[in-house]
Chain A
Amino acid sequence: MSDLIWILVSALLVNNFTLTLFLGLCPFFGVTSKIATAVRLGLANVFVLLLTALCAWFLNRFVLGAAPYLRLISFIVVIASVVQVVEMAIKKWSPALFRALGIYLPLITTNCAILGLAIFQTNRGYGFWQGMAFALGAGFGLTLALVLMASIRERLEVADVPAVARGTAIVLIIAACLSLAFMGFAGLGTAT
């Protein structure tokens, strides 16, 4: 059990997907101008990451033993199709949830964090529950980074930023500071 908690904390803080592994940077720079949007996108990410961990575990366990060189191709195809199917199912059964997460689901599928999770999980040889803990940690870590960035950027709207730094440059420098802050968690050690 402590093993699982450790994997979760490690993915959440020590090896935060966005701030120390640079995965999922597109939403990090693209959709972090409002906190509300950032929260929704983060939660949609948690959901897709859990699905991904499930798919990757299933593929590794039952299919890919016979053909490891097809790993990348099958990950991409299976994850993308499962997310599509789940999106349709949510649209049918829970329109409210669909409105909250809907437009983000297909976008997230092409996010590097998703494929990254599947690959890391495979490389580290995680089992089912370990994979789930890893996905939860990674997802909430991503949400944390998105929300932190969004809250800083909401303040930035009223700040007096020099004209040359407006736009991506200042966001990257803020990201550097956030990343620096997260380096502090490195003292906790890392799970493998």
Chain B
Amino acid sequence: MTSTAPAPPAPASLEDLTRGLWRENPVLVQMLGLCPTLAVTNAVANGIAMGLATTFVLLGSSLMVASLRRFIPNEVRITSYVLIIATFVTIADFVLEALVPGIHKQLGAFIALIVVNCIILGRAEAFASRVTVRRAALDAIGMGAGFTAILLLMSATREVLGSGALLGHPLFGPGFEPWVIMVLPPGGFLTLGILLLLLAWRAKRRSLGGRSR
């Protein structure tokens, strides 16, 4: 599932930054990085930590790939990208372990699994390896922010419905019966499915409205 982006135009622009937020959102449009999107979004704190860690790795590896793009031989480029990404993930892993040990423990293996998050390798291959460092950085920030936003949306929905709380603070009175299923694995599939359903519904209404006008 690689995106077939056409050869990008030369100057750095605002478009590089905003593309990842909505129009080419990595999760909703490109369907990349689904494993972490579903696995760690049972609480808002986990979603934020995963989003920021992924953004950090994305930014670091994009900068590195873009600055080394003239030196990496074409034949071994994927291996080199993976090595670069794995290095940044190791850094993120240790940093999270030092700063927020509780969240690090909850995320567990999924921090290390950022290495195989297709968003990062996808951006390195399709974008960062062909453009200037500045454009690669803008793109990485945009994609990272788009990914984090979706994680935030999913985890807020799941935590509010599933535990009746947001960031650990209870929202409803004791009369609220939590929908436990939402914080369990099926809730992840269900939340993303419904999110995509709503998007498709909106797109359909838009196209119908356009035709009648």
Contacts and interface: CB of A to CB of B under 8 A. Distances in A.
Interface in B114-138: 115-118, 121
Nearest to A173: B193
Given A76-B115, A80-B79, A168-B31, A26 B192 contact: no
Contact of A183 (B83, B109, B185, B204): B185
Contacts, number: 109
Contacts of A80: 79, 82
Given A123-B109, A172-B189, A180-B186, A22 B115 contact: no
Contact of B190 (A119, A164, A171, A173): A173
Contact of A112 (B35, B79, B89, B181): B35
A173 B196 CA distance: 10
Contacts of B31: 29, 168
A171 B200 CA distance: 14
Interface in B163-196: 181, 184-190, 192-194, 196
A72 interface: yes
Interface in A122-138: 123
Contacts of B82: 76-77, 80
B197 A165 contact: yes
Contact of B196 (A26, A172, A176): A172
A179 B89 CA distance: 29
A70 to B, nearest CB: 8
B204 A172 contact: no
Given A164-B204, A172-B193, A173-B193, A20 B116 contact: no
B55 to A, nearest CB: 18
B106 interface: no
B93 interface: yes
> What does DSSP make chain A's interface, helix, strand, loop or mixed?
helix
A30 B185 contact: no
A169 B193 contact: yes
B83 A22 contact: no
B52 interface: no
A22 B186 contact: no
Contacts of A21: 39, 185
A73 B116 contact: no
Nearest to A186: B184
A183 to B, nearest CB: 6
A135 B48 CA distance: 31
A69 interface: yes
B38 A25 contact: yes
A177 B108 CA distance: 26
A22 B190 contact: no
B113 interface: yes
Contacts of A23: 35, 113
Nearest to B193: A172
B200 A26 contact: no
Interface of B: 1, 31, 34-35, 38-39, 79, 82-83, 86-87, 89-90, 93-94, 108-109, 112-113, 115-118, 121, 181, 184-190, 192-194, 196-197, 200-201, 204
30 contacts: A22-B34, A22-B35, A23-B35, A29-B31, A30-B1, A69-B94, A72-B90, A73-B87, A76-B82, A76-B86, A76-B115, A77-B83, A80-B82, A110-B118, A111-B116, A112-B113, A112-B117, A115-B113, A119-B112, A120-B109, A123-B109, A165-B197, A168-B193, A168-B196, A169-B193, A172-B192, A175-B193, A177-B186, A179-B186, A183-B185
